[in-house]
Amino acid sequence: MFGKSVNLIKVFGFQIKVDISWLIIAFLVTWSLAVGFFPFFLEDLSPGTYWILGVLGALGLFFSVLFHEFWHSWVARRFGVPIRGITLFIFGGVAEMEEDPEKPKDEFLIAIAGPFASLFLAFVFHAFYRVSQALNWSEEIIVLFMYLGLINFIVALFNLIPAFPMDGGRVLRAILWHWKDDQRWATRIAASLGGVFGLVLIGLGILQILTGNIIGGVWYFIIGMFIRFIAQNAYRQIVIKNTLSGARVRTLMNSPVYVPPDITLSQMVEDYVYHHHYKMFPVVDKDNLEGCITTRQVGEVERSQWSGTMVRDVMEPPSRDNTIHPDTDIMRALNRMNSLGKSRMMVVEDGRLAGMISLKDIMGYMAARMEVEGDRSFSD
């Protein structure tokens, strides 16, 4: 979903990140506040003052989105759902859950936490707005509090729309899931509504463009496309989850092809990479797993130095980022590999290399099972 992101801070164990695309929305929000919102409510101020208010308003929105996503993350962690962090990106923010909640009640509470947090902030900022009016504070502060109260109320209402992937769509999925005890059916309904909502936004965008509001129209159009994509992908994810249900890494892993640590990179490339065509190889010395080496790591070494560089000098040690236990659920393994950007992982049990698992193995198994069972869900 994201491109390059920058780590900011950790809050209660949650890594806060900002995707580069967030700079676009930060600028647009600041600009729209500085040239539109604040000049409408506050007349005869200097351009510099309007831009300062615009920056403060954008920072307030930044905090509000983080607060919203923090409570999603906090509730998810309470229910045992692993959270990789919170990322702000062009369409707002997202709590990066490594897997879906296992129960409809958990999903409901995780989903509703964000809108409730935004409503709470809306109430707090509205209270500040009323207090600042009563105490005759400067008009700039009064209008700033008014904006922050209003924007949090809008964020809460928008997220409560019952269309996946909005929080309201997740709430709807949780209710339908609890009613029918069928997560797949519930996801299909919520995702279909998300697709319809996306089309509505696309239509509004086109209408806005035709009536002259090009920037607003393009923005509606892009958000609509994004919502449709996420909604369709959500249903695909549930189909994959059901297809892989019950399978373990142990059942799909292959016998490992490993390299010794004391050969040169030239030997490794000639004898292993060109022969087996793998992008990653375990490094084993006398049955002891020393680590792994990838073709990317080899490529980072100047070719003229390959003959004098040993595998041991380039390899990385075993870690959670390149190993997985054989009894891990395949869906969880797939999520980990996708989140880490890995196409192959070493299967390790009791510190010893048991095999290798790859995305190709998982996709092949899934395709074969869907073909045998006659599942045509992706074309629905």
In a domain, 379, yes or no: no
Beta-strand relationship, 5-11 and 14-19: antiparallel
Q: Is residue 276 part of a domain?
A: yes
Domain count for the chain, please give it: 2
Contact 194, 169 (CB under 8 A): yes
Residue 282's pLDDT is 95
What is the arithmetic mean of pLDDT over 81-108?
Answer: 82
Residues 89 and 213 in one domain: yes
Average pLDDT, the chain: 88
Sign of CA dihedral 22, 25, 28, 33: negative
**Could you say which of 217, 244, 271 is where a domain stops?**
244
pLDDT for res 350 = 87
Please name the amino acid found at residue 271.
D
Render 51-72 in DSSP notation, one character per residue: HHHHHHHHHHHHHHHHHHHHHH
| Residue 378 belongs to some domain of the structure | no
Residues 163 and 76 in one domain: yes
269 in the same domain as 122: no
- Comparing 28 with 151, the larger pLDDT belongs to 151
Q: Which two tokens stand for residue 43?
A: 């007349």
The answer to whether residue 380 sits within a structural domain is no
Query: pLDDT at position 124, please?
Result: 97
pLDDT per position as a tens digit, 111-154 = 999 999 999 999 999 999 999 999 999 999 999 999 999 999 99
* Eight-class DSSP state of 89: E
Residue 146 neighbours by CB distance under 10 Å: 19
Q: How far apart are CA 354 and CA 144, in angstroms?
A: 60
* Domain end residue (candidates: 203, 221, 244): 244
> Encoding tokens for residue 66?
């983080």
**pLDDT score of 1 more than 70:** no
Q: Looking at the DSSP assignment, which residues form a beta bridge with residue 56?
A: none
Do both 11 and 157 map to the same domain? yes
User: Does the pLDDT at position 376 exceed 70?
Assistant: no
Residue 18 resides in a domain: yes
Q: Return d(Cα 32, Cα 107) in angstroms, integer.
A: 35
Q: Which residue has the tokens 């700079």?
A: 23
CA atoms of 292 and 315, how far apart (whole Å): 5
Residue 255 reports pLDDT greater than 60 = yes
50: its two tokens: 């309007």
Asked if residue 360 belongs to a domain, the reply is yes
pLDDT band at 369; cut points 50, 70, 90: confident
> Across residues 37-47, what is the average pLDDT?
91
Buried b (16+ CB within 10 A) or exposed e, 28-49: ebbebbbeebbeeebeeeeeee
Q: Are 348 and 328 in contact (CB under 8 A)?
A: no
Q: How much is the pLDDT for 158? A: 92
Give the number of other Cβ atoms within 10 Å of residue 219's Cβ: 17
Q: Which of 234, 277, 249, 283 is nearest to 359 (CA)?
A: 249
Same domain as 292, residue 172: no
Q: Do 158 and 277 belong together in one domain? A: no
Q: Quote the pLDDT of residue 102.
A: 84
| Residues involved in catalysis | 69
Bridge partners of 96?
85
CATH label of the domain that carries residue 271: 3.10.580.10
d(CA 369, CA 42): 64
197 and 266 co-located in one domain = no
What percentage of the chain carries pLDDT values higher than 90? Answer: 56
Same domain, residue pair 224 and 270? no
For residue 222 the two structure tokens come to 């892009």
What integer is the mean pLDDT of 26-47? 90
From CA 34, how far away is CA 144, in angstroms rounded? 12
Question: Do 194 and 318 lie in a common domain?
Answer: no
The model carries a pTM of 0.73
User: Does residue 172 lie within any of the structural domains?
Assistant: yes
| Strand ranges, E, within the chain | 5-11, 14-19, 83-89, 92-97, 280-285, 288-294, 323-324, 344-349, 352-358
Tell me: the pLDDT tens digits for 146-203? 999 999 999 999 999 998 888 999 999 999 999 999 888 898 899 999 999 999 999 9
30 and 166, same domain (yes or no): yes
In a domain, 281, yes or no: yes
Task: Enter the DSSP assignment of 308.
Answer: G
Does the pLDDT value for residue 274 go beyond 80?
yes
| Full residue range of the structural domain in which residue 294 is found | 249-373
Do residues 230 and 269 share a domain? no
Crossing angle between the packed helical segments 183-210 and 214-244, to the nearest 10 degrees: 160
Q: What is the pLDDT of residue 375?
A: 55
d(CA 150, CA 143): 10
Residue 200 shares a structural domain with residue 267: no
Closest CA to 260 of 292, 284, 282, 231: 284
374 confidence band (pLDDT: 50, 70, 90): low
Of 214, 244, 274, the domain-final residue: 244
